[in-house]
Structure 1
Amino acid sequence: MHLLTARVRDNNAVVISHKTLARLLGVKSVTTVKTALAVLEADRWIEVRQIGQNGTVNAYVINDRVAWSGARDGIRYSLFSATVIAASDEQPDAETLGHQEPLRRLPSLFRDESQMPAGDGLRPPSQPFLGGMEPDLPATQRETDDD
């Protein structure tokens, strides 16, 4: 439990394989890890959500309930945030890790700026109203000095 909670950070779950969890715990047997996780689950310290079909990688939700969304196209799903812990030797492309092309990043709105620009700025673009959807607002008149 301490190992999981130390790695959960600002999330409510940790995704980790049994093999990596055993290595981090310093135990040789994955069976020991499974037994410990079963005890934590039975005592309601964690909730286990299987990732994939074989069940060797799971999301361990700590002291929180997983919210299941309603069916959409016949699929029920849950949304949670997790810290994902993956060991390099468990990756199918382990020999190329660290040598891949960098991922493309989403462009930021303001490059190299730490705050939003200030001032009057530009006027918003003019856009015609859709037919039948004109605003029904009262007209206002500006007061002038000669009134």
Structure 2
Amino acid sequence: MAQLPIAPKTTGGNWVQTEREAHEAWAALIGKSPKAAQLMHILTARVGENNAVIISQKNLMRLMDCSRRTIQRALNALSSDRWIEVAQVGETGTINAYILNDRIVWHGARDNLRYSLFSASVVISSDDQPNRESLEKQKPLRRLPHIGEIQMPVGDGLPPPSQPTLPEMEPDLPVIEKD
């Protein structure tokens, strides 16, 4: 069986919460469609503070140790019972955003298009990448500090600024006597 990657840590703890009614419905889902219930657990474990997960069906197959058809049946069961909504990300429909709990919020119609606004945890594997052979050889990206993060200076830097002392305000430094 495939090893499941650990869900991202959140600042509020590493747990998820369900309402009692939803929990009981989830128990009924286990009897009705065990693979759909398993998939719901996998998606829920990865939402973090977001309400959606973007992941390929190929990675879902690995995580659940099953076929693409089983994944598709589980996704159809979850979608038809309104556990999730599916928003297609790529052209093929094999990479999707799976929106849990909250309804998609559509942002105004424009030219007969609707735009979905949500945040998502994105789960990818090196197998999904066209440059997978060179991934370990790449230089790391530049890292931008976060607000509130303490940055330690590195390198030689500039010399400290020199400022003459003001009259009658010379520093009272200890005297070092030479031998």
Which has a greater percent of helix?
A: 2
**TM alignment of 1:101-120, pairs within 5 A:** 101-106=139-144, 112=150
| Counterpart position of 1:58 | 96
Unpaired runs of 5+ residues, structure 2, are 1-39, 153-179
Q: TM-score, normalised by structure 1?
A: 0.68
Q: Report the Cα distance in structure 1 between the residues aligned to 2:111 and 2:142, rounded to whole angstroms.
A: 31
SS state of the match for residue 16, structure 1?
strand
Q: In the alignment, which of 78, 81, 88 is matched to residue 126 of structure 2?
A: 88
Superposition map of 1:21-36 within 5 A: 21-27=60-66, 29-36=67-74
Distance, in Å, in 2 between the alignment partners of 1:95 and 1:4 is 28
Quote how far apart the aligned CAs of 1:97 are.
1.2
Identity %: 57
Aligned mates of 1:60, 1:96 — CA distance in 2: 29
Matched position secondary structure for 1:97 = helix
Cα displacement (A) at 1:26: 1.3
Q: State the alpha-carbon separation in 2 of the partners of residues 21 and 86 from structure 1.
A: 10
TM-score where L is the length of structure 2: 0.57
Give the match for residue 47 of structure 2: 8
- Larger relative contact order (CA 8 Å, sep ≥ 6): 1
How far the C-alpha of 1:68 sits from its partner, in A, is 1.0
Map 1:35-54 → 2, pairs under 5 A: 35-54=73-92
Q: Is the 8 A contact 2:88 2:96 kept in 1?
A: yes
| Bigger mean CA offset, 105-114 vs 50-59 | 105-114
Partners of 2:107 and 2:76 lie apart in 1 by 25
Note the aligned Cα RMSD (angstroms): 2.3
Which range is displaced more, 44-53 or 75-84? 75-84
Give the 3-state SS of the residue equivalent to 1:112 in structure 2.
Answer: coil
Greater strand fraction, Structure 1 or Structure 2: 1
